[in-house]
Amino acid sequence: MYNKNNTLFFVLKHPAFKMEFNYKTTLIKGLLKELVRRDESCKCIDADEIKVFITNKIPPYTKEQKTDTIPFYDEKSKGDFKNLAKDIKLNRLFESIREIICKKDD
């Protein structure tokens, strides 16, 4: 994705992605406008037009700026739930989940 001359370009690798993207362009435009309105740091994605194209080549500027896009979410649970499982295997599974949650809090 890049912004040029007030047009936001999305570069995709597969025709099916392009077809789906074109189907949802109006929704995407609305969501991007709302995002820019709520967060000043997102002004770089504000554009009047959205265009999508397919390529097999990765532009050189994206190779340098490659970042991890997997979102990170904080654990909301504190592990203070009742384990009512009667089955031993299921009971142990819930307790192992509780241990993982408690370790994340530390």
Question: Whole-model pTM?
Answer: 0.46
**What's the pLDDT tens digit per position in 69-95?**
666 677 788 888 899 999 999 999 999
Work out the pLDDT band at 106, boundaries 50, 70, 90: low
Segment holding 101, helix H or strand E: helix 88-105
**Residues 14, 32: Cα–Cα separation, whole Å:** 22
- What is the reported pLDDT for 21? 85
- What is the reported pLDDT for 2? 82
Dihedral sign computed on CA atoms, order 91, 92, 97, 102? positive
Coil/strand/helix, residue 7: strand
Q: Residue 11 phi/psi, 5° resolution?
A: -105, 120
